[in-house]
Amino acid sequence: MPESSGNKAKFRVAVCGGGISGLALAAFLSKAEDIAVDVFEVKSEVRTIGAGIAIWQCYWDLLKDTVGLEAKCSAKGIPAPKWEKMEGPTLRRADNPANVYEFFQMDISPMVVPRTMLLESLLEETTGGSCSIHTDKRLIGYSSNEDATVTLSFADGGSAVADLLIGADGVHSQVRETMFRDVPTLAQPVFSGQLATRLKCRAEDLPAEHPAHSRFLIWCGDGRFVTSNMVGEFVQMTAYDHVPVPSNGKFWDDWVKQVSVDTVSQLYTGWDPTLLSLLQASREASQWAIHTVGPLPQFVSGNVALVGDAAHAMTPHIGLGGGQGIHDAFVLSHILTKPSIDRSTLTTALSVYDRVRRPASQRIAQWSLECGLMYGFLLPKKREQPPASLAKEFYMRTDWLRNKNVLDSELELVQNELKKALQAQDECS
């Protein structure tokens, strides 16, 4: 391990990937002085592109308490959310200008902040103490050793040894690829059949007859939909299109590419003219082919575990991929910082993480997928159900998003599972 790792540590954790999940884990673990953490990031600095990220109240409150997110945002001029006053997304049927109507309004909304703000807030919490960040380090694989350590190999020819490796390296995870190297269908992400095109326009560039929409809107129609929200002086939009998935499950083009605004706008010819104005006022558009991961049969193998998108990359339709990565990090750090966890109990600790987080995150991924299908009226068994009642059915599942207690009650489950697993380990030894 690089020299920076703490010598007095009871064990050493290597985190591959300095994105939201990896930095959240590093930030949470940094509070424990007896755990050495090394984050290895392929990029030359920890950074992300500047689009906004939606953070639901339960995760906002968690980050407010653990890494001071709210105070850090306030210091940068982003006021604290007033949850009770924030309007949730309104679903609008928009594919027939003669019959545009709103059929549902969600009564909770996430807070949208620039991604850089979230990442910087997490990064600040990792400085000092027992955590080191190493950039320009591309992991190319790992191997488990007889002494129960794991050796990480990097593209620059270097290596590092740790007691635990956490793959937080996103949808293209090299850690996952190594873990499932014999099962390509699990090792590789899968094209979801959805293209997400991000656009934004200045409110002042819109024609007077179609003013900017400061509301959070989801413009729904047959086979596709657009989300729009005001962030600062911009209306930010994501246009989602469903396309057939080739039989080999592979996307045929670049995963991320610039596309022309005209190409996107043309898909919405004949839709609500207000939506067309928003799209046409955009100056550029970038298209993302949404890939997902799993459901994996395990997030853990020996002393290696996956968190965040590496474990369960999902469609973005409820804005929960990042939140779930933070959730993984919170639960895993809670387990690892228990006094009963040391080198001899690490694999037991990971098995409890797997038991708690895998089913929960995979349920969210499925729900997110179905939400996207609902917005595009593509749920096969639900096509006859009135849109308002269908939306209500979906959003009845959102109440937990406003309450951090859900995380606290999950910790009780963790506590019970850990007790049982440690007892079983004792009995076997």
Chain residues that interact with ligand FAD, rule: CB under 6 A: 16-22, 40-43, 53-54, 137-139, 168-170, 172, 174, 196, 238, 288, 290, 308-309, 316, 319-323, 325
User: Shortest gap between Cβ of 40 and ligand FAD (angstroms)?
Assistant: 5
Contact between residue 93 and residue 99 where contact means Cβ atoms under 8 Å apart: yes
**218 vs 421, which CB is nearer to ligand FAD?**
218
**27 vs 53, which CB is nearer to ligand FAD?**
53
Question: Comparing C-alpha atoms, which of 270, 203, 266 is closest to residue 237?
Answer: 203
**174 vs 280, which CB is nearer to ligand FAD?**
174
First to last CA, the chain: 29
Give the span between the Cα atoms of 173 and 175, in whole angstroms: 5
User: Shortest gap between Cβ of 2 and ligand FAD (angstroms)?
Assistant: 14
Residue for token pair 């979230």? 118
Question: Comparing C-alpha atoms, which of 397, 161, 301 is closest to residue 310?
Answer: 301
User: Shortest gap between Cβ of 323 and ligand FAD (angstroms)?
Assistant: 4
**67 vs 421, which CB is nearer to ligand FAD?**
67
User: Shortest gap between Cβ of 309 and ligand FAD (angstroms)?
Assistant: 4
User: Residue 64's beta-bridge partner residues?
Assistant: none
In the DSSP assignment, the letter for residue 87 is: P
By beta-carbon distance, which residue lies closest to ligand FAD? 19
Number of helical (H) and strand (E) elements in the chain, helices listed first: 13, 19
User: Shortest gap between Cβ of 191 and ligand FAD (angstroms)?
Assistant: 13
**41 vs 348, which CB is nearer to ligand FAD?**
41
Contact between residue 142 and residue 149 where contact means Cβ atoms under 8 Å apart: no
**10 vs 400, which CB is nearer to ligand FAD?**
400
**171 vs 421, which CB is nearer to ligand FAD?**
171
User: Shortest gap between Cβ of 43 and ligand FAD (angstroms)?
Assistant: 5
In the DSSP assignment, the letter for residue 244 is: P
User: Shortest gap between Cβ of 223 and ligand FAD (angstroms)?
Assistant: 18
Contact between residue 6 and residue 16 where contact means Cβ atoms under 8 Å apart: no
Give the span between the Cα atoms of 233 and 212, in whole angstroms: 10
**189 vs 421, which CB is nearer to ligand FAD?**
189
Question: Comparing C-alpha atoms, which of 98, 125, 147 is closest to residue 272?
Answer: 98
User: Residue 288's beta-bridge partner residues?
Assistant: 196, 256
| Contacts of residue 192, Cβ cutoff 8 Å, sequence gap at least 6 | 245, 290, 291, 292, 315, 369
Strands (E), 243-301: 256-259, 285-292, 300-301
User: Shortest gap between Cβ of 362 and ligand FAD (angstroms)?
Assistant: 14
